């Protein structure tokens, strides 16, 4: 049996976060969960706007305690030269800078890639923006919603003939964060060989576009433009949601050839199970409506729990849409430590667990998100600024 190690994979890596809201801070969160020291720079007084997003407790967003856990908060007004000098001192000793300002913003403060990499040639800089650091759209503002639209996702969500709908979370930002973290880890690995850092350019729309599977080759080969299809997965049959007798839905993925046969047999539809037209997915996809109607007729005769029990007994992949209440009560979530309780300045709070799961050096959750500027004095004292200097900066609104 493997022995757990007290050393985390990114222990000793120092990250300076100069981002706000979602894409940059989510990337830093992931790095921090695996041992990186993350110093989050926030504007004085207001802080990161995420502090006031969605549901608040004691004046602070509950989301904050997920997005900013394990981080240290340093307040700096980056528009001020003295604050920029402090950033340069921090960067000189850092491994990674994470930022998600509009391209050109950091350059305007003298904190762009060229300046910081000259100061610290080993520096790795993750830059997440709407459209990337180059190209004709680079200067346009771009949030996750725009990336999801331009990346092709919004066109595919919803039902035919209806307005496009969004996924209920900021998926474009989060996908970009994941690509950003992959880039940071690749750059850290390469730095072991070269001793030199590099810049990582992640665009929101490209992160979404990378998830679009065969969208482009199908258009190139056949001129086929994929359209929204509701809860179905076009070209893959059966894979849909089906209404049960009690008004609840189940999601059934019976698109494997042997799985399809087991599903039809369970339903008592041996005729569909043995029909040679439906032996493989390409044939089933041509008759998706017929197959979906048959499944829907079957599920409509039973409650959701009855349908789920039968499907699991037949080894047919199935599920149902979980609410937050379902998630926190589910024994599998709990067994895999995907719901953890952390201590925050607003009290104990249940939060999502850490991914991915490493067997020997797993990530960890420390405390929830920091109070605004909670670590400012300690960080600046570590740079050699005495109490009088810090007080002067505070009086001038720089920290």
Point out the residues that are catalytic: 173
Identify any residues that bridge with 129 across adjacent strands, giving them in sequence order.
203
Contacts of 70 (CB under 8 A, 6+ apart): 29, 32, 33, 38, 364, 365, 366, 367
Q: Are 368 and 342 in contact (CB under 8 A)?
A: yes
Which among 334, 237, 309, 227 is positioned nearest to 277, based on CA atoms? 237
Strand 199-203 to 249-253 pairing:
unpaired
What's the first-to-final CA gap in the chain, in angstroms? 49
Q: How many of the other CB atoms lie within 10 Å of CB of 399?
A: 24
CA distance 22 to 148: 14
| Burial bucket for residue 317 (CB in 10 Å: 0-12, 13-18, 19+) | middle
Tokens in use for 298? 């079957």
Q: Are 172 and 144 in contact (CB under 8 A)?
A: yes
Tokens in use for 317? 């992949």
> Omega into 238 within 30° of 0, i.e. cis?
yes
Residues 373-394: b if buried by 16+ CB within 10 A, e if exposed: bbbbbebbeeeebeeeebeebb
> Helix axis angle, 171-194 relative to 23-33, nearest 10°?
50
Tokens in use for 136? 């004709």
| E-only strand ranges, 19-64 | 37-42, 56-57, 60-61
């Amino acid at each position: 049996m493997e022995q757990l190690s007290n050393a985390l994979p990114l222990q000793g890596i120092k990250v300076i976060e100069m981002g706000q809201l979602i894409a940059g801070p989510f990337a830093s969160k992931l790095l921090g969960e695996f041992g990186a020291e993350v110093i989050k720079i926030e504007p004085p007084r207001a802080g990161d706007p995420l502090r006031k997003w969605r549901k608040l407790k004691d004046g602070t967003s509950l989301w904050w305690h997920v997005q900013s856990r394990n981080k240290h908060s340093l307040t700096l007004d980056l528009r001020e030269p003295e604050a920029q000098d402090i950033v340069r001192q921090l960067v000189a000793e850092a491994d990674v800078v994470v930022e998600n300002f509009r391209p050109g913003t950091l350059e305007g403060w003298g904190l762009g890639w060229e300046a910081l990499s000259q100061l610290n040639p080993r520096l790795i800089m993750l830059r997440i923006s709407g459209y990337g650091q180059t190209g004709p759209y680079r200067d346009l503002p771009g949030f996750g919603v725009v990336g999801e639209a331009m990346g092709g996702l919004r066109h595919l969500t919803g039902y035919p003939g209806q307005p496009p709908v969004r996924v209920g979370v900021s998926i474009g930002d989060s996908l970009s964060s994941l690509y950003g973290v992959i880039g940071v880890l690749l750059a850290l690995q390469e730095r072991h060989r070269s001793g030199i850092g590099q810049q990582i350019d992640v665009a929101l729309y490209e992160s979404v576009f990378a998830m679009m599977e065969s969208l482009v080759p199908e258009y190139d080969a056949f001129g086929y433009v994929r359209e929204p299809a509701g809860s179905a997965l076009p070209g893959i049959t059966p894979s849909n949601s089906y209404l049960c007798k009690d008004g609840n839905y189940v999601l059934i993925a019976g698109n494997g050839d042997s799985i399809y046969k087991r599903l039809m047999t369970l339903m008592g539809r041996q005729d569909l199970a043995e029909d040679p037209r439906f032996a493989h997915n390409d044939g089933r996809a041509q008759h998706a409506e017929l197959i979906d109607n048959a499944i829907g007729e079957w599920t409509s005769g039973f409650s959701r729990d009855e349908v789920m029990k039968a499907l699991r007994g037949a080894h047919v992949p199935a599920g149902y849409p979980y609410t937050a209440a379902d998630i926190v009560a589910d024994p599998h979530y709990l067994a895999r430590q995907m719901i953890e309780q952390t201590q925050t300045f607003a009290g104990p709070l249940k939060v999502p667990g850490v991914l991915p799961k490493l067997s020997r050096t797993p990530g960890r959750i420390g405390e929830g998100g920091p109070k605004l500027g909670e670590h400012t004095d300690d960080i600046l004292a570590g740079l050699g600024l005495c109490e009088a200097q810090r007080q002067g900066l505070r009086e001038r609104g720089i920290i």
